[in-house]
Amino acid sequence: MNDEKLLERLSALDSNTISDALDFLGLPGATYGIRPLWNCPKIVGKASTIQVAPKEGKTPTVHMLTPVIAEVTADDRVLVIAGGLEGISCWGDIVANAAKMKKIRGTVIDGMSRDIDGSEAIDYPVFGRGVTMISARNRLIQTGSGEAITFAGVVVNEDDLVIADRCGTVFVPAAKAEEIIELAEKINTRQEAMVKAVRNGRSVAEVMHDKEFDQIYKK
């Protein structure tokens, strides 16, 4: 199945359901603590991975992230930034505007952002650990891109799928994307039926019993 169709199917789901599918399959991918930094919409896309690290010395360098943004040509990308430091920004409104011009779908950061009002003003989604005003300049540099990174304890590869919403951020390994999404769709259908059963008066203890979830595998 082509990537565009997979992204459409993923967009119809949420981070909770994808996390459940990963659990069922014994796969990593769900993260904790990476949440929307303004009331932004869900984002779904393909990962453009970026590694940052503390800067050593004072030699002027190209500002981190800008080479990756400049090279983007597709409209299905999500920037995935690993290596942020507590209290130090990895993102701001100037790069947000540049990303918006490139039709990048959003940014997820294992770290922090500044200039949140600027990102919100242009409707650019940003997910991360928190907000700060402290600049990355002379504190952080980009050390790699387009390679495997460790993001909030999860190994993320270039082109893995990303879904980020109000409950958090989840990564879907590209090699197993169709299997994971197919299972998530089954889980979603089953859980919708369980909600309906509770609303119709069935005992929630029965509805939530482990055996009910086991039925997902049998469909």
Q: What is the pLDDT of residues 29-61, one digit of tens each?
A: 999 999 999 999 999 999 999 999 999 887 878
Selected from 3.40.50.720, 3.20.20.60, 3.30.413.10, 3.50.30.40, the CATH number assigned to the domain covering 3-175 reads: 3.50.30.40
pLDDT of residue 13: 98
> How many Cα atoms within 13 Å fall on the side-chain side of residue 67?
14
pLDDT of residue 179: 97
Distance CA 78, CA 47 (A): 5
Q: What is the dihedral of CA 183, 184, 189, 192, to 10 degrees?
A: 150
What is the pLDDT tens value at each position of the chain, 219 positions in all? 688 999 999 999 999 999 999 999 999 999 999 999 999 999 999 999 999 999 988 787 889 999 999 999 999 999 999 999 999 999 999 999 999 999 999 999 999 999 999 999 999 999 999 999 999 999 999 999 999 999 999 999 999 999 999 999 999 999 999 999 999 999 998 888 778 888 988 878 877 787 777 766 665
Distance CA 201, CA 195 (A): 10
**Contact status, residue 113 vs residue 94, Cβ threshold 8 Å:** no
pLDDT of residue 219: 56
Q: Render the burial of 128-156: b for 16+ CB within 10 Å, e for the rest.
A: bbeebeeebeeebbbeebeeebebbebeb
> What's the residue count for the chain?
219
Residue 148 sits at φ, ψ, to 5 deg, of -65, 135
pLDDT of residue 101: 98
Cα–chain-centroid distance for residue 88? 20
Q: Where are the domains of the chain?
A: 3-175, 180-218
